[in-house]
Amino acid sequence: MQELDNYGQNWTLGVTALASFMVALDAMVLTAALATIRVDFSAPMATLQWTVNAYNLSFAVLLLTGAALGDRFGRRRMFAAGIALFMLASIACALSTSILALIAARSAQGAGAALVMPVAMAILSGAFAREERARALGIFSGVTGLALIVGPAIGGFLTEGFGWRWIFWINVPIGLIALAMSSARLRESFGPPAGLDIPGLILVAAAAFAVVWGLLRGNGSGWTSAEVVVALLAGLLLTAAFIGRELRADAPMVPMRLFRSRALSSGIAASFLFYAAMYGTLFLLPQFFQASFGYGPLGAGLRLLPWTATLFATAPIAGAVVNRVGERPLVVAGLSMQAAGLGWIAMIVGPGTAYPTIVAPVVLAGVGVSMAMPAVQNAVLSSVAVVEIGKASGIFNMGRFLGGVFGVALLVATFSASDATHSPETFSAGFAAAMQVAAALSLFGAFVGLWLPARRREPAVQMPRRA
């Protein structure tokens, strides 16, 4: 009987990990293809960034709703619905005939991902006993992390060998396999009944969209223009309205009482900032490799590996060390290293810069953020009761993806201020300015990390004195 249970658990781990790999891959696989898509659709950089931000924004704001839908209507049913939506949206991406159609399809992809990821973790957690759950979640997270590491290289290979549309076509066979496996091997399960905070969902989505719109339109319309000022003010007012709504709601999407914990509030603020720097850099860096160094999509994707591979090497070590030294030293040191690495890149890039000269700062930034990631997540999840870990995890992930949306928008606005796509020289100048902003975001994140509570040391045991 135990063998049959293990057999079912292994199938559950396999299908949830496969679906998470597909979803995580599409968060990164597009990076090496962006320059090609920009040329194919003659898209300005401010419009191109929505191919990344549309995915991240819909993923972020629908994440907690996806978990609630799984609890209410059945996790296996919603998991399958998320895979199907993601697969159909991938087909729409591959068939896009304009940049606007691609952006709309990417938004639908993000909605599918917001169903798949939280429900997959709930299914996996329910399938394993407590003593086995950590191992299963570790494997699940490792597969997801692998997708983030190899995503740019896979995207570059497909773009260069077959065309950028194949980045999305490969999701069809993966999705069909995952659907068949979920139908045959997963059991239906339900969570505790959870309310759907639709007004809160609308407010947070509108607030994020308004802020991003204002940042992107600042250079074109003027930072003091009515369009930009109204958009940024609307974003702030909608954010305030969202907070007010969550404070009064019976079943809030984001319980504001959780932010009374210093560890949770400072951890989420720090992660927002360093994910903003990281996603913004990953949006521009492959395009810099292609515009200034002349690499193709595959070459650009492979040359991101010194950064992305640090996650595989550094994060497990940081995860083991955090229990001994605490979260604050790792977050502060890690984000300081990321700031130093990105600032170093900003100082040395130029039209004549050779790729080997930026390997060291890229690795420095990668090691730094890979140190901070597990530490800040541990700080957030350890700050709440066990019954609220799922909610805290959802808030953390929503915050980091919203940070990514903000970071891409801010760095693109900085890059575009000098109309930087006309030549390798102007591209390098705009890229250097954007890296300065990314370094500042990382440094600000390090300062916020100082507010994390220090690890309490156990009092030394007093030995009785001899008479």
Q: What is the CA 206 to chain-centroid distance, rounded?
A: 19
State which of 134, 163, 186 marks the end of a domain. Answer: 186
Same domain, 234 and 182: no
**What's the confidence (pLDDT) of residue 457?**
45
Residue type, 150: V
Helix (H) or strand (E) holding 455: none
**Which CATH number belongs to the domain containing residue 126 in this structure?**
1.20.1250.20
Question: Other CB atoms closer than 10 Å to residue 149's CB: what's the count?
Answer: 19
**Residue 144 resides in a domain:** yes
**What's the confidence (pLDDT) of residue 342?**
95
**What's the confidence (pLDDT) of residue 462?**
46
Residue type, 338: Q
The CA-atom distances, in angstroms, between 429 and each of 181, 416, 419, 436 are 50, 10, 10, 11
What is the total count of domains within the chain?
Answer: 3
* Tokens describing residue 144: 């997801």
**What's the confidence (pLDDT) of residue 131?**
61
Tens-digit pLDDT profile for residues 308-353: 788 777 877 776 777 788 889 999 999 999 999 999 999 998 777 8
- The closest alpha carbon to 88, from 56, 54, 112, 60, belongs to 112
**Residue 73 resides in a domain:** yes
* C-alpha to C-alpha distance for 227 and 232, rounded to whole angstroms: 9
- The closest alpha carbon to 344, from 365, 366, 369, belongs to 365
The CA-atom distances, in angstroms, between 352 and each of 105, 285, 356, 357 are 38, 16, 12, 11
Alpha carbons within 13 angstroms on the beta-carbon side of residue 143 total 19
* C-alpha to C-alpha distance for 273 and 442, rounded to whole angstroms: 6
Model pTM score: 0.82
State which of 167, 186, 205 marks the end of a domain. Answer: 186
Residues 6+ apart with CB under 8 A from 119: 66, 67, 69, 70, 75, 78, 79, 82
Question: Other CB atoms closer than 10 Å to residue 302's CB: what's the count?
Answer: 17
Q: What is the CA 49 to chain-centroid distance, rounded?
A: 15
**Residue 460 resides in a domain:** no
Same domain, 2 and 45: yes
Which residue do the tokens 């995915």 mark? 55
Same domain, 121 and 243: no
Domain that holds residue 40: 1-186
Q: What b/e readout covers 269-294, taking b as 16+ CB neighbours within 10 angstroms?
A: bbbbbbbbbbbbbbbbbbbbbbbbbe
What residue ranges of the chain have pLDDT lower than 50? Answer: 1-4, 457-467
**Residue 464 resides in a domain:** no
The CA-atom distances, in angstroms, between 452 and each of 156, 331, 390, 443 are 39, 9, 21, 15
* C-alpha to C-alpha distance for 70 and 51, rounded to whole angstroms: 27
**Residue 462 resides in a domain:** no
- The closest alpha carbon to 232, from 107, 406, 356, belongs to 406
Same domain, 307 and 354: yes
Residue type, 226: A
Alpha carbons within 13 angstroms on the beta-carbon side of residue 309 total 9
**What's the confidence (pLDDT) of residue 49?**
85
Same domain, 268 and 301: yes
**Residue 49 resides in a domain:** yes
**Residue 20 resides in a domain:** yes
* Tokens describing residue 231: 């958009």
* C-alpha to C-alpha distance for 402 and 400, rounded to whole angstroms: 5
**What's the confidence (pLDDT) of residue 454?**
78
Same domain, 257 and 347: yes
Same domain, 291 and 431: yes
**What's the confidence (pLDDT) of residue 386?**
66
State which of 165, 186, 207 marks the end of a domain. Answer: 186
**What's the confidence (pLDDT) of residue 459?**
42
Query: CA quadruple 244, 249, 253, 259: dihedral positive or negative?
Result: positive
Same domain, 165 and 212: no
* C-alpha to C-alpha distance for 109 and 128, rounded to whole angstroms: 29
Same domain, 120 and 99: yes
Same domain, 441 and 320: yes
* C-alpha to C-alpha distance for 54 and 56, rounded to whole angstroms: 6
What are phi and psi for residue 132, nearest 5 degrees? -105, -10
Helix (H) or strand (E) holding 421: none
**Residue 126 resides in a domain:** yes
Same domain, 159 and 215: no
Same domain, 244 and 96: no
Query: CA quadruple 246, 249, 255, 261: dihedral positive or negative?
Result: positive
